[in-house]
Amino acid sequence: MSLVSPEYIRYFYYGAIVIMIPFIISDLLKKKKEDKIDGTKHFKISVYNILIAIAMMVVLFFLINSNYPS
């Protein structure tokens, strides 16, 4: 996509995030139902994975935007 129109790549990323959020929520709801029925812990593991990914993105954001000389 960046080869076709590089000036709109940011908006494509924003659109992809908006489109993916309902899929993530529906998948989490499905895992929560399966956990209640089967007694597994897939939902809990998925939530932990999301939290770890958010923490890594926050750390990377602050590292990228720091004012230290490279």
Q: What is the pTM of this model?
A: 0.69
Tell me what the mean pLDDT of segment 42-49 comes to.
94
The reply to whether 26 falls in a domain is yes
Query: Reduced to 3 states, what is the DSSP secondary structure of residue 35?
Result: helix
Name the pLDDT band for 44 (thresholds 50, 70, 90).
Answer: very high
The reply to whether 22 falls in a domain is yes
| Alpha carbon distances (Å) from 33 to 11, 37, 47 | 34, 6, 14
The reply to whether 16 falls in a domain is yes
For the CA atoms of 14, 16, 18, 19, the dihedral, rounded to the nearest 10 degrees, stands at 160
Structural domain total, the chain: 1
The reply to whether 69 falls in a domain is no
Q: Which domain holds residue 34?
A: 6-64
pLDDT of residue 65: 85
Q: Which two tokens stand for residue 29?
A: 């709801």
How many residues are given for the chain?
Answer: 70
pLDDT of residue 1: 59
Percentage of the chain surpassing pLDDT 90?
Answer: 67
* Residue in the structure block whose two tokens are 């958010």: 54
Tell me what the mean pLDDT of segment 33-56 comes to.
94
pLDDT of residue 2: 61
